[in-house]
Amino acid sequence: MELLSAQETNEIEVIMKKHNVLEMSVNFRRKWEDASGKKISEISSIYHYTSIEGLKGILDNSSLRFTNGKYLNDSTEFLHGINKIKECAENIKKKQNNIENKNEIDKLFDEKIKLLIEKVIIKSKNTFILSTSLNNDSLMLWSNYSNYSGYSIGINFEKLRKFIFGGYWGVSEESERIKYSCSNGEIKDYYTLDEETYNQNMMNGKYPLVDFCGVIYNEDIQNELILYDLRVLYEDICMKYYNKLDFKSNSGIYKDEKLSFIIDEIVEGIAASFSLIIVYFKNKGFYPEEEFRITITVFDEFNLKEILNFRTSNGIFMPYIESVFMSYEGSKIFPIDSITIGPINSDIIAKDGLLEYINHIGFDIGDRIYRSNITLRY
């Protein structure tokens, strides 16, 4: 395998610096904040819509279920992100129409885009999503998730963040932490309060990656987030190195295997970034949902097998992981702020029954049980 020249080494280092997963994550949140006019740091509550059975399960078990992204209500949304990558790649090729050796460069670019999409699909397959909203009384969500008769659970976002991140980053001095309910009924904690140890284990794929942000519906912003890295791939890699990255005739290997390996590692990094952000892309038609997501991506297949559970819905087996909120002493606690009762359940007895149940299981949310302000006729 040939060694890279000093010039090539410097050029590759510059390219790798242009792609930074952490910077993309920060930039992604900033784009959402600019588009929504909201600051994540100022969000007080997020709202999870569910049926009465779902509400009872959440409160009884002090837990939240994160569903595999492939099985969400909108079956096309993952394809929306993949198609966005393809669309942006085609736009880049169309704009580069006055360059030498365009056919060879485009051929190499197509090959790398194919590899990129394959890796994005693989990396996204174990991403689990909790869908919430910033709107506690949404007609669309009452319809989609509970046939107008369910409940909107107000979750204290700051406490939720302390649970999720305080469990292994040491953000909070409080004793609460997030745990996982295993398929055999056990509850396990895979995390450590040692930040350095956590970071090492996450990089090795041992620990899940937890992230959160609002959904981006604006296609111009989606394109902008995708195009930056694809331009790097086309202009800084394919245009510069197409000759060295081309196949030797009839041999099935690259002219420069060392360079090819490094470039594929860059593609791997881009795929990692894309797999984390496209789960927050949705068609603009869903904008009224005002969706805010929390995602857990599990890298370790052994850990996933241990914590993976299944439920049935509409004749389909749906994989999920269940996060249980409890103290170190073992008492179950849940960061609940409020509960809003759906439009159909306007009868006073619905509120009375809910209040009795909440008192029975030991939750205290004071007078923060509300009725929907939406009026429906049937």
Tokens of 92: 């880049």
**In residues, how long is the chain?**
378
Contacts of 207 (CB under 8 A, 6+ apart): 168, 190, 191, 198, 201, 299, 300
| Three-state DSSP state, 93 | helix
pTM: 0.84
Q: Is 171 exposed, middle or buried (0-12, 13-18, 19+ CB in 10 A)?
A: middle
Question: Tens-of-pLDDT digits for all 378 residues of the chain?
Answer: 455 566 666 666 666 666 666 677 778 899 999 999 999 989 999 999 999 999 999 998 888 899 999 888 776 788 899 999 999 999 999 998 888 889 989 999 999 999 999 999 998 898 999 999 999 999 999 998 778 889 999 999 988 877 765 443 333 334 344 555 565 556 555 543 444 554 555 545 556 778 899 999 999 999 999 999 999 899 988 888 877 665 444 444 455 677 777 888 889 889 988 998 999 999 999 999 999 999 988 877 667 888 889 998 888 899 998 887 766 566 667 788 999 999 987 678 889 999 999 989 888 788 899 999 988 765
Q: Is 188 left (phi over 0), alpha (psi -120 to 50) or beta?
A: beta
